[in-house]
Amino acid sequence: MKADAATLAFYEANAPRYTLSFGQGPSRHLDRFLDRLRPAARILELGCGGGRDSARMIERGFDADPTDGSPAMVRKAQQRFDLPARHLRFEDIDALDCYDAVWAHACLIHVARADFADVLARIAAALHDGGWHFANFKLGDGEGRDPLGRLHNFPDEGFLEDAYLAAGFAIVDADRYRGEGADGVARDWYALTLRKGDA
């Protein structure tokens, strides 16, 4: 497994503009997700970008570990919110039984389909039993690139549900909604809140 070079290059080149193009508020599903967690829970954030979600986690008293696959994005998170952000690609997730939750807002969309099961297995291994996980995806009918050249897996609901169930997750909540990404294209998205093991 290897990260897509063109996708990483996009984020490296566009980190300043990309992080400023989004509002300062946290992601729409974050507070509801955090409400499910115990106080001071340890949360791994994948694809932290400019750091707004990890900043909100810390504001609410959680122990956030913000990470991103782009060094430029890591620097932005450090500069904007003084976060302890660190560089971590999906293929390098190697934590074992370390986290109460894994938050992955709009980032696992870039995992190639051939690598998807492996990444989910790594996320599951990083979680304590009963740990929580959130991820959201742009829906579609198969892997491809968006107008910005970034790799997307463009799954459908069935693909995601089957993949997560096979990785040992129970689906606690699912939300299909309309949203616009950085490419300016309005698409249907699917947000999943999951728990390792039985719900």
CATH number at 35 reads 3.40.50.150
Read off the amino acid at residue 150: R
Count of domains observed in the chain:
1
Spell out the residues 6+ positions from residue 147 whose beta carbon is closer than 8 angstroms to its own: 183, 184, 185
The pLDDT of residue 170:
97
Q: Please give the model's pTM, rounded to 2 decimal places.
A: 0.95
The pLDDT of residue 23:
52
The pLDDT of residue 198:
66
Per-10-residue mean pLDDT, the chain, length 199? 88 76 75 98 96 96 97 93 96 98 97 97 98 97 93 96 98 95 90 88
Instruction: Report the C-alpha gap between 86 and 64 in whole angstroms.
Output: 11
Instruction: Tell me the HSE value of 64 on the side-chain side, using a 13 A CA sphere.
Output: 30
Q: Which domain holds residue 22?
A: 5-196
- If one counts every other C-beta atom within 10 angstroms of the C-beta of residue 180, the result is 10
As a three-state string, the secondary structure of the chain is CCCCHHHHHHHHHHHHHHHHCCCCCCCCCHHHHHCCCCCCCEEEECCCCCCHHHHHHHHCCCEEEEEECCHHHHHHHHHHHCCCCEECCHHHCCCCCCEEEEEECCCHHHCCHHHHHHHHHHHHHHEEEEEEEEEEEECCCCCEECCCCCEECCCCHHHHHHHHHHCCEEEEEEEEEEEECCCCCEEEEEEEEEEECCC
Beta strands 186-196 and 127-138, pairing class: antiparallel
Spell out the residues 6+ positions from residue 58 whose beta carbon is closer than 8 angstroms to its own: 64, 83
What are the two backbone dihedrals, phi and then psi, of residue 72, each rounded to the nearest 5 degrees?
-65, -40
The pLDDT of residue 160:
97
